[in-house]
Amino acid sequence: MPLSLEERFEKLKQIREELLHFENSPLYKYRVENKYYPVVGEGSHMAKIMFVGEAPGKNEAQTARPFCGQSGRILDEMLESIKLNRSDVYITNVVKDRPQENRDPLPEEIILYAPFLDRQIEIIQPKVIATLGRFSMGYVMNKFGLFDMLRPISEIHGKEFVASTSYGEIHIVPLYHPAVALYNGSHKTTLLQDFQVLKKYI
């Protein structure tokens, strides 16, 4: 059953409060010492499309906003290419706190933070989840029972996979992380092409 906008707001607010005081996380002390914030997510609470990245970087942890640095500029460009604004979608990460020195999130960190993402999906009830990078791709596809279809991201980026949720059918679209476009121009072209897949869900 769909939740009202007010219900979604309150439930997402509760997640934010829990993350602010998430002392069980091995990243909590690092966050406090550096005066960072957890990055819960931002965008429309009624979004049809949810983007799920891996973990916040330094800019994100300083501002509590997902994808607000160089990768964010690439993501904004990709959204503009399909006539979408940030305010139309919901953007978050699997891991909500910044790992030290921007290292990859550890498996145990993904396990620890994933229940927050699971709740966000149930609250927002998107029609499609676009994963950004291999860590979010792995988690989301496994969560929705698509482990048999998991391949390296180089093989399945831009493809659509159908899964079931408590609220109905959902489509999973693995995408490269926007950061790859900063280092490889051909990946930017690939990202632009892959984003076209999302137009049908607008």
pLDDT at 1 over 80: no
- 50 by DSSP, 3-state: which? strand
Distance (Å) of CA 60 to CA 34, 39, 40:
13, 7, 10
Model confidence pTM above 0.85: yes
Average confidence score pLDDT of the chain: 96
Task: For residue 155, give every residue at least 6 positions away whose Cβ sits within 8 Å of its Cβ, in sequence order, or none.
Answer: none
How large is the average pLDDT for residues 44-73? 96
124/112 Cα distance (integer angstroms): 21
From the CA atom positions of the chain, what is the Rg in Å? 16
Residue 96 has pLDDT above 90, yes or no: yes
* pLDDT of amino acid 183: 83
User: Percentage of the chain surpassing pLDDT 90?
Assistant: 94
Amino acid at the residue 26: P
Are 53 and 133 a contacting pair, CB within 8 Å? yes
Measured between its terminal Cα atoms, the distance across the chain in Å is 21
Average pLDDT of 112-124? 98
Count of domains forming the chain: 1
Other beta carbons less than 10 A from residue 21's beta carbon? 9
CA distance 68 to 44: 16
Q: What is the pLDDT of residues 180-195, one digit of tens each?
A: 988 877 889 999 999 9
CATH number of the CATH domain containing 159: 3.40.470.10
pLDDT band for position 198 (cuts 50, 70, 90) = very high
Strand order in the sheet with 128-132: 42-43, 90-93, 49-53, 128-132, 168-175, 161-165
Question: How far is it, in rounded angstroms, from Cα 49 to Cα 200?
Answer: 11
Which residue range(s) make up the domain with 35? 5-201
